Each structure stands twice: as C-alpha cells, then as structure tokens.
Amino acid sequence: MNPMIRNASRLLAVAALAASLSGCISLLPKTKPASLYRFGQAEVSVAKGPPGAMFGVMKTPSAFTRAAAGDRILTVTNGEVAYIAGARWVSPAFILFEEATARAFENDPGRARLIGRGEVAKADLMLRLEVTTFEADYVQGPKAAPEVVVRVRAVLNRSADRALVGDQIFEAKVKAADNRVSAIVPAFDQATAKVLGEVVTWVNGAGAGIKS
C-alpha cells in the first residue's frame, strides 16, 4: 500500500475514534448557568426641594462594602454570611449602584445636577457615598422571607475650600415578599430606590444657600 494512503487511513481512524469518544465523555463538568438579576430600576421618589438656580455636584466613585461589591447576592443568617446559589447580579453590585445613583439625579427635577467626568462645568459641591451595608438579612431564620438592608453614608463638601457641608447616614429596610430570589431582588430594588431618594433630597436641601 502506498505510504501516503496508509498514513491517511491512520489519521481517519484516529479522527473517528475521537469523534466516538466525544459522544460519551465530557472533559468539563456540566454546570447549570446562574440566573442574572439587576437592581436600580425602581422609580426614585424625591421630595420637592427649595426653589432656586441649579448647582453642580461632582460625585466621587462610591465606596462599597467588599463582601457585596461583586456580582453575588449577599445574605446574612445569625451572623453567618453566604451568597445565594445560582443567582448573580448582571453586573457587579457597585456598578449597578453607581448607575442607579446617576439615574436618580438625572430624573430629579430639583436643583442638584451631577457633573460627569470630563464635563466642563462648575462643581459647587462634592459628594461621596459609602455603601456600608447591602445584604439580605434572615432575621427570622433561614426559611422565612429575608429583610433587605441598604445603608449608605453620604458626605458633602464645598468644592471651593473642601469645607464639610454635611455627613449623614441613610438606611432602608424592605422585607421580601417571599424567600425566593424572584422576591428578594425586588426588595433590593426598592431599598436602593428609597435610600437614593433620600440622598437626592438631602443634597438638594444642602445646596439651598448656593448662588449659581
């Protein structure tokens, strides 16, 4: 037999064997894909602030509790910390929170206006948010519906001299309707919206004395 024909036959035999093995052997274990969720979509309610001209607010990147900053959904049960299996945020929580904050100010008709990066505009105040708690607490045990807690520290400084304008803690607690991810996620959404509504209202009030 021609050597070239013999080599080709061997290659075909090896390929056929590999194809047959691939039908019954998986090199990688099959894992169920995680369901993806988001928060920050709920409507933010902001109390009407004092009238006057608009003022600029430069917001620094928010600080976020490390355990909850990623894409896993944090829970706490009797001091034990865990993540919900098979469920993830569509983006890291700190990114979704930043996006929700920007939307809260954009949709508010009040005086405060966030100044984006690279935007040529005067910043009268500087805002820093620190998310210290962002979790679902099983306060009534692991089988009961949890209570979502979102706690944020907000610090305002004047841009001109960095003088402290305000330093305040905002907190929202929203109990989930059921002990299911589909019910826990809306509780995160509502708690985030409540906190951001209070933050925007506070910033609007803090800028009452600013003349633009």
For the segment 106-147, what is each residue's pLDDT rounded down to a tens digit?
988 888 999 877 666 788 999 999 999 999 999 999 999 999
Taking CA atoms, 109 is separated from 50, 122, 201, in Å, by 11, 19, 11
Q: Which has the minimum average pLDDT: 80-84, 159-163, 172-176, 181-185?
A: 159-163
189 vs 102: CA distance, rounded Å: 15
Q: Is the pTM of this model over 0.85?
A: no
DSSP class of residue 176?
-
Please give the mean pLDDT across all residues of the chain: 84
Concatenating the DSSP letter of every residue in 59-70 gives EPPPEE-GGGSS
Residue 3 forms part of a structural domain: no
Per the CB < 8 A criterion, the answer to whether 69 and 164 are in contact is no
The count of other CB atoms within 10 Å of the CB of residue 9 is 11
Q: Tens of pLDDT along 32-61? A: 678 999 999 888 988 776 667 789 999 999
**Is residue 2's pLDDT more than 50?**
no
Residue 178 lies in domain:
34-209
Q: Kindly report the CA angle at 211 between 206 and 212, in degrees rounded to 5?
A: 110
Residue 193 forms part of a structural domain: yes
Q: Which has the minimum average pLDDT: 2-11, 50-59, 151-160?
A: 2-11
Residue 186 forms part of a structural domain: yes
Q: Residue 163: give its domain's CATH number.
A: 3.40.50.10610
pLDDT score recorded for residue 120: 65
Per the CB < 8 A criterion, the answer to whether 195 and 172 are in contact is yes
Helical spans, DSSP H, in 110-180: none
Q: Tens of pLDDT along 83-102? A: 999 999 999 999 999 999 99
Residue 27 forms part of a structural domain: no
Residue 13 forms part of a structural domain: no
Number of structural domains (the chain) is: 1
Residue 173 forms part of a structural domain: yes
Per the CB < 8 A criterion, the answer to whether 91 and 38 are in contact is yes
pLDDT score recorded for residue 143: 92
Q: What is the mean pLDDT of residues 62-81?
A: 96
Angle between helix 181-206 and helix 93-106 axes, rounded to 10 deg: 50
Radius of gyration of the chain (CA): 26
Residue 98 forms part of a structural domain: yes
Q: What is the mean pLDDT of residues 2-31?
A: 43
Helical spans, DSSP H, in 45-143: 93-106
Q: Tens of pLDDT along 176-211? A: 999 999 999 999 999 999 999 999 999 998 877 665
Residue 12 forms part of a structural domain: no
